[in-house]
């Protein structure tokens, strides 16, 4: 992490669903080419944080976002074309959600929307993204098969490949291993370690040891608040600022 200029700066961010506060005035920075982990128990605001980064309030009339989110120095609320923003910010949800089409078309869908029509170019994108998602060798001989027929772990990696096909600069992952077996989880973790050379990753996980394995820095969310942010190994082994962090990472609650 040579460049210390934040890729993402969040200031006094609050998220509400109706009158219910999901996030309450958090501020943090995410640096370029780091894996930034977010841990915390259920209903601590982790997923709401990702939803705010991707302007999901555009599709949820019950969701209100307050505060400032700067992506590469630009306030995302000022971006008129939300789809242009989402081409730079890829999202992988907890459960794989494949498009009802072939493996090939799942990955080629976004590039086609972006105006790429040449088959040779699309072929290259599909192969590159499936390879980066550690899926190419398993599906290269059946690209015309429905993506929904893949195993759960393969569908999750297909979702990652589809997110990568947009060539995002920021990748948001929300509990990617919930529906994935341990072996596939480790494969995806290896993929993420390689991807951080190219993109910035924000990883929400309920598995504290997963954050320890992957994240350069980690934030601890609790009851809608940001308790603290620290270098990940320091968070697990050093002197934390708040005893609640120590209690959580050592499994005393959550």
**pLDDT for 222:** 96
Whether the pLDDT of residue 83 is over 90: the answer is no
Per-residue pLDDT at 94 exceeds 90: no
pLDDT at 67 over 50: yes
Buried-state track 125-158, b at ≥16 Cβ within 10 A, e below 16: bbbbbbebbbbbeebeeebeeebbebeebbbbbb
CATH superfamily for domain 8-99+167-249: P-loop containing nucleotide triphosphate hydrolases (3.40.50.300)
Q: Is the pLDDT of residue 227 over 90?
A: yes
CB neighbours of residue 214 within 10 Å: 23
- Quickly state the pLDDT bin for 3 (edges 50, 70, 90): low
- pLDDT higher than 70, residue 1: no
% the chain with pLDDT above 70: 97
Query: In 196-231, which residue ranges form alpha helices assigned H by DSSP?
Result: 208-214
Mean pLDDT for all residues in the chain: 91
Please answer whether residues 185 and 177 qualify as being in contact, where contact means their C-beta atoms are separated by less than 8 angstroms: yes
On the question of pLDDT at 112 being above 90, the answer is yes
Look at residue 28 in the predicted model and tell me its pLDDT. 97
Spatial contact of 106 and 162, defined as CB atoms under 8 Å apart: yes
Q: For residue 50, which of 8, 2, 101 has the smallest C-alpha distance?
A: 8
pLDDT of amino acid 82:
83
pLDDT of 2 > 50? The answer is: no
Q: What is the mean pLDDT of residues 213-225?
A: 97
Dump pLDDT digits (tens) for 145-198. 999 899 888 898 999 999 999 899 999 999 988 877 888 889 889 989 999 999
109-117: Cβ within 8 A, 24+ apart: 109/162, 109/165, 110/162, 110/165, 110/166, 111/165, 111/166, 114/87, 114/166
What is the residue extent of each domain of the chain? 8-99+167-249
Structure tokens at 137: 């060798």
The predicted pLDDT at position 97 comes to 67
Is the pLDDT confidence value at 96 over 80? no
Q: Give the N- to C-terminal CA distance of the chain in Å, as an integer.
A: 31
218 closest CA partner among 75, 25, 40, 6:
40
**Is the pLDDT confidence value at 95 over 50?**
yes
Q: State residue 116's pLDDT score.
A: 94
From 106-110, 127-131, 136-140, 152-156, the region with the lowest mean pLDDT: 152-156
């Amino acid at each position: 992490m040579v460049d210390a200029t934040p890729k993402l700066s969040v200031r006094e961010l609050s998220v509400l669903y109706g009158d219910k506060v999901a996030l309450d005035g958090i501020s943090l920075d995410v640096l370029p080419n780091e894996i930034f982990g977010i841990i915390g128990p259920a209903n601590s605001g982790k997923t709401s944080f990702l939803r705010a980064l991707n302007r999901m309030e555009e599709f949820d009339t019950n969701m209100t976002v307050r505060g400032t989110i700067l992506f590469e120095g630009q306030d995302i609320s000022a971006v008129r074309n939300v789809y242009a923003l989402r081409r730079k910010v890829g999202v992988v949800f907890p459960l794989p959600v494949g498009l009802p089409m072939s493996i090939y078309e799942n990955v080629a869908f976004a590039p086609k929307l972006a105006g790429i029509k040449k088959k040779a170019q699309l072929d290259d994108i599909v192969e590159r993204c499936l390879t980066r998602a550690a899926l190419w060798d398993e599906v290269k001989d059946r690209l015309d098969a429905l993506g929904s027929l893949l195993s759960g772990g393969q569908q999750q990696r297909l979702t990652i490949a589809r997110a990568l096909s947009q060539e995002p600069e920021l990748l948001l992952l929300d509990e990617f291993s919930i529906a994935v077996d341990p072996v596939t989880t480790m494969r995806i973790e290896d993929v993420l370690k390689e991807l951080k050379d190219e993109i910035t990753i924000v990883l929400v996980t309920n598995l504290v040891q997963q954050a320890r394995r992957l994240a350069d820095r980690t934030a601890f969310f609790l009851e809608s608040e940001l308790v603290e942010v620290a270098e990940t190994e320091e968070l697990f082994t050093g002197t934390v600022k708040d005893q609640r962090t120590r209690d959580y990472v050592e499994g005393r609650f959550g």
